[in-house]
Amino acid sequence: MSVRHGREFLSIPGPTTVPDEVLNAMHAPAVDIYAGPLLATTESCLSDLRRIFATDGKTYIYAANGHGAWEAAICNVFSRGDKVLALESGAFAVGWGQMASAVGVETEILPGDWRKSVDPQALEDRLRADTKGEIKAVLVVQVDTASGVVNDIPALRRSIDVVGHDALFMVDAIASLGTMPFEMDDWGIDVAVTGSQKGLMTPPGLSFNAANEKAKQRHEHAGLRTFYWDWTGREGAEHYQKYCGTPPEHQLFGLRKAMDMLLEEGLENVFERHRILAEATRAAVEVWAEGGAVEFNITEPHARSNSVTTVRVNEGFDIPAFTGYCREKCGVTLGVGISGLSGLAFRIAHMGHVNAPMVLGTLGVIETAFAALGVKHGRGGIQAAVDVLSRNVTP
Ligand SMILES: *Cc1c(COP(=O)(O)O)cnc(C)c1O
Q: What is the mean pLDDT of each run of 10 residues along the chain (395 residues)?
A: 95 97 98 97 98 98 98 98 98 97 98 98 98 98 98 98 98 98 98 98 98 98 98 97 98 98 98 98 98 97 98 97 98 97 98 98 98 98 98 96
Instruction: Report the pLDDT value the prediction gives residue 269, as an integer from 0 to 100.
Output: 98
Pocket of ligand 1 (CB under 6 A): 14, 65-67, 92, 141, 144-145, 172, 174-175, 195, 204
- Residues 72 and 152 both lie in one domain: yes
- Residues 113 and 195 both lie in one domain: yes
CATH number, position 176: 3.40.640.10
Q: Count of domains in the chain?
A: 2
- Asked if the structure places residue 78 within a domain, the reply is yes
Instruction: Report the pLDDT value the prediction gives residue 196, as an integer from 0 to 100.
Output: 98
CATH number, position 353: 3.90.1150.10
Instruction: Report the pLDDT value the prediction gives residue 109, as an integer from 0 to 100.
Output: 98
- Asked if the structure places residue 235 within a domain, the reply is yes
**110-114 long-range contacts, Cβ below 8 Å, gap at least 24?**
110/85, 110/86, 112/87, 112/88, 113/89, 114/88, 114/89, 114/90, 114/146, 114/147, 114/149, 114/297, 114/340, 114/341
- Residues 256 and 339 both lie in one domain: no
Among the residues of 78-116, which ranges form H helices? 92-102
- Residues 72 and 218 both lie in one domain: yes
- Residues 347 and 330 both lie in one domain: yes
**185-191 long-range contacts, Cβ below 8 Å, gap at least 24?**
185/54, 185/55, 185/56, 185/57, 185/212, 186/54, 187/153, 187/154, 187/157, 188/157, 188/160, 188/161, 189/55, 189/153, 189/157, 190/137, 190/214, 190/215, 191/73, 191/76, 191/77, 191/137, 191/215
Q: What's the CA-to-centroid distance between 132 and ligand 1, angstroms? A: 33
Instruction: Report the pLDDT value the prediction gives residue 11, as an integer from 0 to 100.
Output: 96
Name the residue range of residue 99's domain: 20-263
Instruction: Report the pLDDT value the prediction gives residue 20, as an integer from 0 to 100.
Output: 98
- Asked if the structure places residue 354 within a domain, the reply is yes
Pocket test for ligand 1, best of 99, 145, 153 (most atoms within 8 A of CB): 145
- Residues 178 and 226 both lie in one domain: yes
Q: What's the CA-to-centroid distance between 174 and ligand 1, angstroms? A: 6
Please say whether the beta carbons of 3 and 329 come within 8 A: yes
Instruction: Report the pLDDT value the prediction gives residue 170, as an integer from 0 to 100.
Output: 98
**Residue 136 three-state SS:** strand
* Helix, strand, coil abundance in the chain, percent, nearest 5: 45, 15, 40
- Residues 59 and 174 both lie in one domain: yes
Instruction: Report the pLDDT value the prediction gives residue 358, as an integer from 0 to 100.
Output: 98
Instruction: Report the pLDDT value the prediction gives residue 29, as an integer from 0 to 100.
Output: 98
Report the distance separating Cα 200 and Cα 262, nearest Å: 8
Domain C-terminal end among 263, 279, 302: 263
- Residues 256 and 367 both lie in one domain: no
Instruction: Report the pLDDT value the prediction gives residue 163, as an integer from 0 to 100.
Output: 98
- Asked if the structure places residue 3 within a domain, the reply is no
Q: What's the CA-to-centroid distance between 101 and ligand 1, angstroms? A: 18
* Ligand 1: residue whose CA is nearest its atom 2: 174
- Residues 34 and 65 both lie in one domain: yes
- Asked if the structure places residue 4 within a domain, the reply is no
- Asked if the structure places residue 2 within a domain, the reply is no
- Asked if the structure places residue 1 within a domain, the reply is no
- Residues 224 and 87 both lie in one domain: yes
Domain C-terminal end among 263, 291, 315: 263
Domain C-terminal end among 233, 263, 293: 263
Instruction: Report the pLDDT value the prediction gives residue 136, as an integer from 0 to 100.
Output: 98
- Asked if the structure places residue 55 within a domain, the reply is yes
Q: What's the CA-to-centroid distance between 67 and ligand 1, angstroms? A: 7
- Residues 164 and 290 both lie in one domain: no
- Residues 258 and 278 both lie in one domain: no
Report the distance separating Cα 394 and Cα 325, nearest Å: 34
Please say whether the beta carbons of 210 and 57 come within 8 A: yes
